[in-house]
Chains A and B, each alone.
Chain A
Amino acid sequence: MSERPGETAAERVPASERKPASSRAKRLIGGALALIATIVVVVNQRDVGIARDEVVYMQNGAHYADWWVGLVTLDHGISEKSVTQTFGGPGATDNNREHPPLMKTLFGLSEKLLHRTLGVAGEVTAFRLPAAIMHGVLVLLAYAMVLELWGTAQAIVAALLLVFLPRAVFHAGLACFDAPAMTLWFATIYAYRRGLDGRRWPWQVGVLWGLALATKHTALLLPFALGAHYLIVAWRVRPQLAGATRAARVLAAVRAVIGYRWRVIVSLAVLGPLTLYVLWPWLWFDPVHHVRDWLAFHTNHVHYNYEYLGRNWNAPRFPWHVALVTTLFTVPVATLAAAAAGTGVWIAERTRRAAGAPELLLALSAAASAGPFFFGTTPIFGAEKHWMPVLPTICIAAAVGAVWAARTAAGTMATLRPARAHLAGRLAIGVIAGSVVLAAAVETQVAEPYALTWYNALAGGAPGGADLGMNRQFWGVAARGVLARLAAEAPATGTRFVYTHDASPAWGTYQRQGLVPRTLVDAGWEQGGIDRSQLALVIHERHFNRHDYLIWSSYGTVQPIYVLCTGGVPIVSVYRRPAK
């Protein structure tokens, strides 16, 4: 372990010479941080509404789980008919075949076990629990990687900064793929790095990449990060053949690159697709055709509406800076500042930590994840959730930066009071890293449960984001916040029709949860639903303004009876048809 400025004497002890009890304690700390992350997500999601797409994943996940349970209990076998009926079909979105099944299956199994069988969790919480646990796994893996590479303080800070990422906490609480995709992306990075140690069977990296592929298609970008890193690291360790011919040097370099850690490449190339295949029954029959359909769906994906810097975007070319600016406004400012410091440390120390080049790997991981969004043609509608794998890199860099800044300051103080050097080091880390974590925690507390409307202090919070013309929200989750107001309008008997707008897919679940009386009935879609309704809600996004106007025309008033705001920014309006 290299000596770093500001390190205390105790911290300079090589890892191999530290007491075993210390290792156990560190493992416990990692486990505790992972548990905290999971608990934070589970507690937070209780107030988060049901996302439009989430309903689809829940329903299909339940079907997938039933199919697997039926297969294991020998209720049915494997037939093309049963697989197609559960996982596929002729249409592009039949049985949600456009998304691989891993997380959906886990959602379904969780609901089946925890809600339907054991009754220890509510329906929605049970569906969402696997994603929350995956977030805990991410925190644990980040902690483990940083602990090994940079030290205990950095590991704890990195883990805490991952816990306190407002948008990530929000996404991790949904039965969706984006947060788990981030976890499995990072898990692949983690396994790849460890696989470079020359082990004989680096199977983990291939299997984890397969799990990532079985979660979301964005994992297809991972080889760009891993491939670039592999080439660079292998090139660095190529033999230097002084005096050899140019051809001999080139040949030796090619041999060195191919032979560097070839088993890692084989693991990725073989076990990755194989894992995807095993986990996705839809690929068991006509796999080439079905993989082609899967990828074609995403390469030809419709461009949903997305508000960015005052303009509604729904067709390319998109601004090249969407990922950059959105990340700048949706990660706590102190975390970003510390990450800038950490990046500086990595650049300054790039020659001192050659083996494996983990900083480069993390940077390439972030670049591969966000890179496509700089081209101007990749759909941007999902915003930060589509490039979430940049977040572990940012948080790790932030941890390195915060601890470096603390130790550097403590080192300076120690020259004035050498006797207190040890205490100064710990105190500095506590104060400086602690303040960075505190800022992130406060942002997270402010953001929830409407984190899609939240922007960081640099943007000016939710109202600042609205002033800047940043996206207000998506997926209709905010409807959860007006259900109590709607319930107050419900008749004791009979029915009252409600134009539920983007909450329509979730309406039945809200009723099962008891959040909406059954006397409030979903009126249906668009003008017909509005004309049938006595109550109407509009979830505010710029391109949804048209729903306000349809309601005005039908109800004869522009006046809502209730407007739900977060940070003063309107997110849902409720209208009541005036009495004639």
Chain B
Amino acid sequence: MCTLSPRPSPIAVAPALLLVVISLWEVCAARRDAASAPGDAAWHAAGERVRAGYRPGDLIVFAPAWIDPVGRKELGDLIPLAVAARMDAARYGRIWEVAIRGARSPDTAGLEPVQAEDHDGVSVRRYERAPAIVVSDVLERLPAATADGARPALELAEVGFAPHRCLQISPAPGTPLRITFPQLPLGKELVGYVGIADVFSRRDVRSPSRLDVELAGEIIASATAGVDDGWVRFAAVTPPGAADVTFVVRATDANRRICFAAEARQ
């Protein structure tokens, strides 16, 4: 080692200097990090800005996802359950994104803000776009649906650690369960999502679930949702007009809580 030399090189002080620099950096960084998240006043100011421009039907999202409770505390009265537990964000033409630490919500990916302000570290950004026009929503048409086994229930479920309103069903192992929506109004596209609800059953039973969508007896879309896949999207091009649409769900194990939602879009 260089320190064994009778005339130590000046470079021998480098480890000591490095330790001092790292230590002093840590002293400053630890305090800075702890105070880096905006406080109540900043959140309140940001919330007031959103309230001033909010219109019914707007979507409010928070980023990063872990700050969601703070955002809901400030603006939760403007977020109905159905919006918080939405299938996706496509039907919303105006989106307010309230964010810290430079984060973006997945719901605004690819969009450019038409308005952006900063309130002491809380960014308020508004996005506008042409929303998806929903022709029909299977959640709303559940009463008209038929099933060749147990009927699904409309639930607000945890799927992939996120809230989703969905039709939840547990098919018998190995037996496909068919849920048909007669004369479902269709647009040009049918978009849906499927996932497995309940973190504990996902832990204890590791097999995936499968969903097929049939139109006039033909499979037009399929999706497989594994225990770690979360909310899995599927989509199919559809002929506009009313038609019987069947969702076929399959599981290989019992008590597999399959959740799905779908919208026919213009």
A interface residue numbers (CB < 8 A to B):
5-6, 303, 305, 311-312, 314-315, 332-334, 337-338, 341, 348, 401-402, 404-406, 408-409, 411-413, 415, 428, 431-432, 435-436, 438-439, 442-443, 446, 456-457, 460-464, 466-467, 472, 540, 542-543, 545-546, 548-549, 552-553, 556-563, 565, 567-570, 573
A559 and B16 in contact, given A314-B199, A545-B161 (Cβ under 8 angstroms): no
Quick one: closest A residue to B227, CB to CB?
A315
Name the B residues within 8 Å of A406 (CB-CB).
16
Find A553's partner among B24, B100, B156, B227 (CB 8 Å cutoff): B156
Nearest CB on A from B11, distance (A):
9
| B158 interfacial by beta-carbon distance below 8 Å | yes
Question: Would A549 and B66 count as touching, CB distance under 8 A?
Answer: no
Question: Would A428 and B26 count as touching, CB distance under 8 A?
Answer: no
Tell me the chain B residues, 105-159 only, with Cβ under 8 Å from chain A.
156-158
A314 and B73 in contact, given A5-B3, A409-B12, A568-B37 (Cβ under 8 angstroms): no
| B55 interfacial by beta-carbon distance below 8 Å | no
Question: Would A439 and B33 count as touching, CB distance under 8 A?
Answer: no
Kindly list 16 other residue pairs between chains A and B, CB separation below 8 angstroms, not including A435-B19, A442-B31, A463-B37.
Answer: A332-B26, A406-B16, A409-B15, A412-B13, A413-B13, A461-B34, A462-B33, A472-B66, A546-B199, A548-B69, A549-B158, A553-B81, A556-B81, A557-B81, A559-B75, A559-B79
A314 and B66 in contact, given A412-B8, A552-B84, A565-B37 (Cβ under 8 angstroms): no
A464 to B26, CA, bound (A): 14
A106 to B17, CA, bound (A): 46
Name the B residues within 8 Å of A438 (CB-CB).
23, 27
A563 to B81, CA, bound (A): 19
Name the A residues within 8 Å of B202 (CB-CB).
314
Quick one: closest B residue to A443, CB to CB?
B30
Question: Would B12 and A439 count as touching, CB distance under 8 A?
Answer: no
Question: Would B66 and A570 count as touching, CB distance under 8 A?
Answer: yes
B interface residue numbers (CB < 8 A to A):
1, 3-4, 7-10, 12-13, 15-20, 22-27, 29-31, 33-39, 64, 66-70, 72-73, 75-77, 79, 81, 84-85, 100-101, 103, 156-158, 161-163, 198-199, 202-203, 206, 227-228
Nearest CB on B from A15, distance (A):
22
Question: Would B72 and A439 count as touching, CB distance under 8 A?
Answer: no
Find B25's partner among A303, A457, A545, A569 (CB 8 Å cutoff): A457
Quick one: closest B residue to A566, CB to CB?
B34
A553 to B163, CA, bound (A): 11
Question: Would A545 and B81 count as touching, CB distance under 8 A?
Answer: no
Question: Would A558 and B30 count as touching, CB distance under 8 A?
Answer: no
Name the B residues within 8 Å of A443 (CB-CB).
26, 30
4 closest cross-chain pairs (CB), A and B: A568-B37, A559-B76, A461-B33, A409-B16
A568 to B64, CA, bound (A): 12
Find A573's partner among B20, B73, B79, B227 (CB 8 Å cutoff): B73
Question: Would A315 and B3 count as touching, CB distance under 8 A?
Answer: no
Name the A residues within 8 Å of B29 (CB-CB).
457, 461
Nearest CB on A from B139, distance (A):
15
Question: Would A405 and B73 count as touching, CB distance under 8 A?
Answer: no
Nearest CB on B from A339, distance (A):
11
A439 to B16, CA, bound (A): 15
A546 and B33 in contact, given A408-B15, A438-B27 (Cβ under 8 angstroms): no
A405 and B16 in contact, given A466-B66, A549-B85 (Cβ under 8 angstroms): yes
A439 and B156 in contact, given A305-B199, A553-B81, A570-B66 (Cβ under 8 angstroms): no
A463 and B33 in contact, given A333-B26, A439-B22, A560-B72 (Cβ under 8 angstroms): yes
Question: Would A463 and B23 count as touching, CB distance under 8 A?
Answer: no
A569 to B68, CA, bound (A): 10
A332 to B33, CA, bound (A): 14
Question: Would A558 and B81 count as touching, CB distance under 8 A?
Answer: yes
Pick 30 A–B contacts, CB within 8 A, sort by A: A334-B22, A338-B19, A341-B15, A341-B19, A405-B15, A405-B16, A409-B12, A411-B8, A428-B16, A436-B19, A439-B30, A457-B29, A461-B36, A462-B33, A463-B33, A463-B36, A464-B33, A466-B66, A549-B85, A549-B157, A549-B163, A552-B85, A552-B163, A553-B81, A558-B72, A558-B81, A559-B75, A567-B33, A568-B36, A568-B100
Nearest CB on A from B148, distance (A):
28
Question: Would A457 and B67 count as touching, CB distance under 8 A?
Answer: no
A543 and B161 in contact, given A314-B203, A415-B7 (Cβ under 8 angstroms): yes
Name the A residues within 8 Å of B100 (CB-CB).
568
A322 to B72, CA, bound (A): 32
Nearest CB on B from A88, distance (A):
27
A456 to B31, CA, bound (A): 11
A402 to B15, CA, bound (A): 9
Name the A residues within 8 Å of B22 (CB-CB).
333-334, 337, 439
A443 to B161, CA, bound (A): 31
A467 to B72, CA, bound (A): 19
Name the B residues within 8 Å of A549 (CB-CB).
85, 156-158, 163
Name the A residues within 8 Å of B24 (CB-CB).
435, 439
Quick one: closest A residue to B4, CB to CB?
A5
Residue of A406, A558, A562, A565 ringed by the most chain B CB atoms within 10 A:
A558
A570 and B67 in contact, given A411-B12, A457-B33 (Cβ under 8 angstroms): yes
Residue of B29, B70, B206, B228 ringed by the most chain A CB atoms within 10 A:
B29
Question: Would B8 and A442 count as touching, CB distance under 8 A?
Answer: no
Find A348's partner among B1, B34, B73, B206 (CB 8 Å cutoff): B1
Name the A residues within 8 Å of B75 (CB-CB).
559
Name the B residues within 8 Å of A460 (CB-CB).
33
Name the A residues within 8 Å of B228 (CB-CB).
311
A446 to B34, CA, bound (A): 7
Quick one: closest B residue to A547, CB to CB?
B158
Question: Would A412 and B9 count as touching, CB distance under 8 A?
Answer: yes
Find A446's partner among B17, B30, B163, B198 (CB 8 Å cutoff): B30
A467 and B64 in contact, given A546-B198, A559-B72, A559-B76 (Cβ under 8 angstroms): yes
Name the B residues within 8 Å of A411 (CB-CB).
3, 8, 12
A341 to B16, CA, bound (A): 10
Name the B residues within 8 Å of A563 (CB-CB).
69-70, 73
A502 to B4, CA, bound (A): 58
Find B19's partner among A5, A311, A334, A546 (CB 8 Å cutoff): A334
Find B38's partner among A303, A341, A431, A568 (CB 8 Å cutoff): A568
Find B37's partner among A413, A442, A567 (CB 8 Å cutoff): A567
Find A442's partner among B9, B12, B17, B30 (CB 8 Å cutoff): B30
A331 to B100, CA, bound (A): 26
A569 to B70, CA, bound (A): 9
Question: Would B15 and A560 count as touching, CB distance under 8 A?
Answer: no
A560 to B70, CA, bound (A): 8
Name the B residues within 8 Å of A409 (CB-CB).
12-13, 15-17
Question: Would B81 and A552 count as touching, CB distance under 8 A?
Answer: yes
Quick one: closest A residue to B25, CB to CB?
A457
Question: Would B26 and A408 count as touching, CB distance under 8 A?
Answer: no
